[in-house]
């Protein structure tokens, strides 16, 4: 095994000393990049981009080639698992994801199988193997999956939603049925992430995009509980290297202590919480990833520099911080502002790692 | 002055003893009611309903006539003020509010006037006078306005937004310009709410729908600060009766202590926070309003009964609680489930007021 040329991300996630704070961005391979939009257009649909390992590899590497990022993240979608379960994922133009066959009844839930990652989802594993080869150990590759609750919201609703009417009706009226479904999905997510690790993912992240729409009790019962099961079922070491796990619940900053108790190595933090406060609350149990307001990237480079400095100062001295946005980068951001942010992180953070 | 036949709401907001917990719902006059949809259709557009005092009065009273609610809330929209400032409010079908003339430049901000509530916004005051007459002191009437930050987001963006790109660019690049705008808007909101109180509003509520998209520091500087100014500028007494003020920042439950410091009488709480925890954090400084997950109303009546009981139990014994949803009622809710919720509140809460 050739060692990583840049292992800042792994070290920071494990709270080991680093020279400067590592930085990457959620959705860094995406629409704000003209070179992405070009490939996306050639591919035709979003899913034909995801399911083509060569193209997925190409767009994964685009931001890495352009900016001095400390990590690559697999270009894919959290809905690959429900698609492989036979729900029929498609993207209506400008309307977000949809499923032809939403899961609404007891029979629907019973019919859900557990797709085999190396057959039904082989395109993801092939993409990972290809990206690892192309990266050639320059920086680590992050794999990811959606949380069971987040996947369930899409699977039950059949589309994006503002009201969560179907899935919440199931949660309140038929909690046992929802638990059955979440158990099935959790098994699939665990197998999927372990397959990603075997294929070469050096870090994995669980995205709980919709945990924040739950009450505190329902979050514990229907979202966090299943993420904890997954964390407990993951291969945390591969080829003698530790594989850190990051947990991110958007809007979940009231529950950081409970998230830290899952055994994850790091927590994603959105921009509604001060990092100093978050660090105080979780102590030395986990590393923290975040949390610049994504809208900061609409500002001028000198303003961005100042705001990056503020986030770094809030976290303070020592390792255990991975710089990121508090949510995915917006599609209408100027790539030059991304460069300004990344340079600011590396430049300013030196003083916090002596 | 004839006294109120049912003054539970006022008493609970002032943390005085009540027989049972008062209950009302955000957006209780709205699309989930067939009688509302009928009038809305007759009126043609949403704004022609808002600007017609007779129709606004009629839809305000619809839920009050149907359910044993403890308060009426003026049927109107938070965007009446920017509309009266000349921004040209209109509602594109299925797309939410839009402004013909968004506020983007220094010249735009300078041009903003302060509309006179009894001339440009007289239709609102006439509606309040008419509703008070029709209510005949059965239950109190709640008036309301949007927070300056929330109004500014719409005024700068010109429409609903997911990215807040224009207003956040202004916040980060030209904070002084945004402050100038927020000062102007705050003066208008204060005058508008005081006019509502003079016209007969017995409680006022400030809706900070978008405070939760700010970082903690930006929330303090660009949203809370202006709400505090408004609270300080309100007539807190009318005809010898106290006029309680309720503050509600959606997604702002991490900042409850700071909100309690504004001098407001009560805080609206969304469903992401346990009421027991919220009560512990704010102590006896303010009453709390909330916080049933609006999606609970998709469940069956017996489930609703149990969830109402849970919220009441979380708040616990004593006055200072106004039952409400954690956000506005969804349009696809069955009105029978609303009846179940209201009856459950009155029935179960008796034990907490001995």
Q: Which residue, B343, B346, B338, is CA-closest to B30?
A: B338
Both tokens of A237, joined, read 């070491």
Q: Rounded to the nearest 10 degrees, how much is the dihedral formed by the CA atoms of A9, A10, A12, A14?
A: 160
- Residues A204-225 have a mean pLDDT of 98
**3-class SS of residue A323:** strand
Three-state DSSP at A144 gives strand
Give the number of other CB atoms < 10 A from CB of residue A175: 14
What is the least distance, in Å, from the CA of B82 to any CA of chain A?
A: 24
Tell me what pLDDT residue B45 has: 87
Tell me if chain B has a CB within 8 Å of the CB of A168: yes
CA distance A165 to chain B (A): 6
Q: Is the pTM of this model over 0.80?
A: yes
In B, minimum Cα distance to A272 occurs at B215
Cα A148 to Cα A209: distance, rounded to the nearest angstrom: 10
Kindly report the backbone phi and psi dihedral angles of residue A176, in degrees, each rounded to the nearest multiple of 5, phi listed first: -65, -40
- A vs B, Cβ pairs < 8 A, gives 91
DSSP 3-state percent helix, strand, coil across chain A (nearest 5):
50, 15, 35
Establish whether B154 is a catalytic residue.
yes
Interface contact flag, A172 B298, Cβ < 8 Å: yes
Quote the CA–CA distance of A169 and A2 in Å, as a whole number: 51
Total residues found in chain B within this entry: 354
- A residues 265-294 lying closer than 8 A (beta carbon) to B: 271-274, 277, 293-294
Which of B212, B293, B295 has the highest number of chain A CBs within 10 A, making it the mutation to test binding with A?
B295
Q: How far is the alpha carbon of B72 from chain A, nearest alpha carbon, in Å?
A: 24
Structure tokens at B141: 């009437």
- In chain B, residues with a C-beta closer than 8 Å to the C-beta of A330 are 163, 165
Catalytic residue among B8, B15, B40, B279: B40
State the catalytic residue, choosing from B32, B154, B226, B305: B154
* CB B326, CB A164: distance < 8 Å: no
User: How far is the C-alpha of A336 from the C-alpha of A328, rounded, in Å?
Assistant: 17
pLDDT, tens digit (0-9, with 9 covering 90-100), for B290-306: 999 999 999 999 999 99
Name the H helices within chain B. 8-13, 34-43, 46-50, 53-66, 80-82, 106-110, 122-135, 148-157, 165-173, 175-199, 216-218, 225-233, 256-260, 275-282, 301-315, 335-349
Q: Quote the strand ranges of chain A, DSSP E.
A: 72-73, 89-92, 96-99, 141-146, 203-208, 237-238, 241-242, 245-249, 266-268, 287-292, 321-325
Whether chain B has a CB inside 8 Å of the CB on A215: the answer is yes
Full 3-state SS string of A243-291: CCEEEEECCCHHHHHHHHCCCCCEEECCCCCCHHHHHHHHCCCCEEEEE
Mean pLDDT score, B43-58: 95
Mark whether B31 is an active-site residue. Answer: yes
Give residues with Cβ within 8 angstroms of A219, minimum separation 6.
Answer: A211, A212, A249, A252, A255
pLDDT in tens, A275-284: 999 999 999 9
Q: Decide if B40 is catalytic.
A: yes
pLDDT tens-digit readout, A83-127: 999 999 998 777 789 999 999 999 999 999 999 999 999 999 999
Q: B305-349, pLDDT tens digit by residue? A: 999 999 999 999 999 999 999 999 999 999 999 999 999 999 999
CB contact under 8 A, A272 and B293: no
Alpha carbon of A5: minimum distance to chain B alpha carbons (Å): 35
Check B172 against A216: CB less than 8 A apart.
no
Q: How far apart, in whole angstroms, are the C-alpha atoms of residue A264 and residue B105?
A: 46
pLDDT tens for residues B251-273?
999 999 999 999 999 999 999 99
Least CA distance to A213: which residue of chain B?
B272
Chain position carrying tokens 């591919």? A43
CB B15 within 8 A of CB B317: no
Tell me what the mean pLDDT of segment A281-308 comes to: 97
In this predicted structure, which of B91-105, B134-148, B335-349 has the lowest mean pLDDT?
A: B91-105
Distance from CA of B11 to the nearest CA of A (A): 28
Helix (H, G, I), strand (E, B) or coil at B349: helix
Torsion, Cα of A56, A332, B173, A28 (10° steps): -10
Q: Give contacts of B 83-102 with A, CB under 8 A.
A: none
pLDDT in tens, A244-257: 999 999 999 999 99
Whole-angstrom distance, CA of residue A266 vs CA of residue A141: 16
Rounded to two decimals, the ipTM of the complex is 0.95
CB A78 within 8 A of CB A151: yes
Contact check, Cβ <8 Å, A274/B173: no
Assign A233 to helix, strand or coil.
helix
- Does the active-site annotation cover A31? yes
Give the three-state DSSP class for B340: helix
Predicted pLDDT at B96: 87
How far is it, in rounded angstroms, from Cα B286 to Cα A345? 42
Contact call for A272 and B296, based on CB within 8 A: no
> Do the Cβ atoms of B272 and A216 come within 8 Å?
yes
Mean of the pLDDT values across residues A151-175?
A: 96
Chain A residues with CB inside 8 Å of B295's CB? 163-165, 168-169, 171-172
């Amino acid at each position: 095994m050739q060692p990583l040329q840049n292992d800042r991300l792994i070290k920071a996630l494990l709270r080991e000393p680093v020279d400067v704070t590592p930085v990457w961005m959620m959705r860094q391979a995406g629409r704000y990049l003209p070179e992405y939009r070009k490939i996306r257009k050639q591919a035709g649909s979003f899913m034909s981009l995801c399911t083509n390992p060569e193209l997925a590899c190409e767009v994964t590497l685009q931001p890495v080639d352009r900016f001095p990022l400390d990590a690559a993240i697999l270009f894919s979608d959290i809905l690959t698992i429900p698609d492989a379960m036979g729900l029929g994922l498609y993207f209506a133009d400008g309307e977000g994801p949809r499923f032809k066959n939403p899961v609404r009844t007891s029979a629907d839930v019973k019919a859900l199988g557990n797709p085999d990652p190396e057959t039904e989802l082989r395109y993801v594993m092939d993409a990972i193997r290809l990206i690892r080869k192309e990266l050639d150990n320059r920086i680590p590759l992050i794999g990811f999956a959606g949380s069971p609750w987040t996947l369930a919201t899409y699977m039950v609703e059949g589309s994006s939603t503002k009201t969560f009417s179907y899935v919440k009706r199931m949660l309140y009226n038929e909690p046992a049925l929802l638990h059955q479904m979440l158990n099935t999905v959790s098994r699939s997510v665990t197998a999927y992430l372990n397959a990603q690790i075997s294929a070469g993912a050096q870090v994995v992240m669980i995205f709980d995009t919709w945990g924040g729409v739950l009450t505190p009790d329902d979050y514990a019962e229907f979202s966090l509980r299943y993420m904890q099961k997954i964390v407990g079922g993951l291969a945390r070491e591969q080829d003698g290297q530790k594989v850190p796990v990051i947990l991110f619940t958007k809007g979940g900053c009231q529950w950081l202590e409970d998230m830290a108790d899952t055994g994850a190595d790091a927590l994603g933090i959105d921009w509604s919480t001060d990092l100093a406060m978050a660090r105080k609350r979780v102590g030395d149990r986990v590393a923290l990833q975040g949390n610049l307001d994504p809208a900061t990237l609409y500002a001028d480079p000198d303003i961005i520099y100042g705001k990056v400095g503020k986030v770094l100062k809030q976290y303070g001295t020592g390792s255990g911080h991975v710089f990121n946005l508090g949510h995915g980068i917006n599609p209408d951001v100027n790539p030059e502002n991304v460069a300004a942010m990344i340079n600011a992180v590396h430049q300013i953070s030196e003083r916090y790692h002596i």
